[in-house]
A = this chain, B = another copy of it.
């Protein structure tokens, strides 16, 4: 026991004194534009994977880049310890950067900025989602290895490159490697938020995701609105009518059967949420809004965590360049996604959506659907030994009780770990809700990074006790 605590202390000291080098390494990773969704960046994704393999090898992991049908997976193992076995997950791919003109600095030239509130922030695409986060764990391992010679638990690190682009090649990879990966006792997923700047959090529920790309075709070619206006079906108009029909005037989703199986929030969770310091108006005000857009009778926490949603992530049709063009286009399209909660089956929701669209098409129009990933909502058990040790370790680092919260986001891999490997996941991350992930000017607080490293040192040591 004393050895372990001494190991923690040494590891924490190492992390503190080597902060600049750790930041340098993170910056090197942030400079690689590993946008997984755009084929133009395919080789950059591989570069990021190779960079991580090299880093992990240097620390002492047996690390390898595994090819898939898409972007590669990095798998690294250090199983010298006698203790339990953790499978750490992160993703090295990042979101696209458009609209580029809204970035204050180029997204792949990371830098440290002092914010107006005095906080030091690491800026760059992926700083928070998920490169900064995954590096907290790698740096924690580096500190422990450097100071104690070995890790307190068996560690397998799995870093994928398709989290932001549907991730359809990870499940087959997990299946292929299941004999190895099933040896783990718990998965650690580092891709979530803290409760606030001072309060660590463990995420115990996640919404699922169904995403669809739809393209509607009307005429066989673009038409001149002077010649065909009124008489020819305008797919922009049709698509707008279909999108409008997806929502009820009360802010709900209007697809038939959409809420089937959705349960009301359990009393005990509702009680916990009441105790949280959460202000609906403040949440919206922070992004320039004041009118909640979802179901009128639901709180913001419900709308964003425990209720499903339908969002139009992209929409296009006709001429959208400079000036004006009086065209009736042949096609229009949209990218539409659904966040699901417990009780909703992704396949059933996808089918209901498609039926909803198809039933609204005139006889001379057609639609093509392209699916982008589908995952059910998941709930993490809140009573395990790993969870309670992680809670205690986080409390020791941050000096505060850990918030056990739900998240409105979707981390399909947690469902995959359960389904394919039989593994529960602990979702622990250090992002903040103003990190602008998926937006211009993404950042990660320097404290998220440095105290994230310290948190993992404590958690791994606690698991090894």
Contacts and interface: CB of A to CB of B under 8 A. Distances in A.
Interface of A: 36-39, 95-96, 98-99, 102, 164-166, 207, 209, 211, 213, 218-234, 236-237, 239-241, 243-247, 251, 283-284, 287-295, 300, 303-304, 307, 309, 311-329, 332-335, 337, 339, 362-364, 372-373, 407-410, 433, 436-441
B166 A295 contact: no
What DSSP secondary structure best describes chain A's contact surface? loop
A316 B321 CA distance: 10
A364 B288 contact: yes
A36 B323 CA distance: 9
A229 B339 contact: yes
A337 B325 CA distance: 9
Number of copies: 2
A445 to B, nearest CB: 16
A345 to B, nearest CB: 19
Contacts of A291: 233, 362-364
Contact of A325 (B102, B373, B438): B438
Contact of A237 (B39, B287, B312): B312
A230 to B, nearest CB: 3
A435 to B, nearest CB: 9
Given A225-B337, A319-B314, A323-B37, A294 B364 contact: no
Contact of A229 (B219, B220, B326, B408): B408
Given A224-B409, A233-B293, A324-B337, 20 more contacts: A36-B323, A37-B323, A38-B323, A96-B323, A209-B226, A209-B326, A213-B324, A219-B289, A221-B288, A222-B440, A223-B287, A226-B407, A227-B433, A228-B304, A230-B295, A234-B311, A240-B240, A290-B364, A312-B318, A315-B320
13 contacts: A102-B222, A164-B325, A211-B326, A222-B438, A227-B304, A229-B408, A231-B300, A232-B289, A237-B312, A239-B315, A241-B243, A311-B328, A315-B318
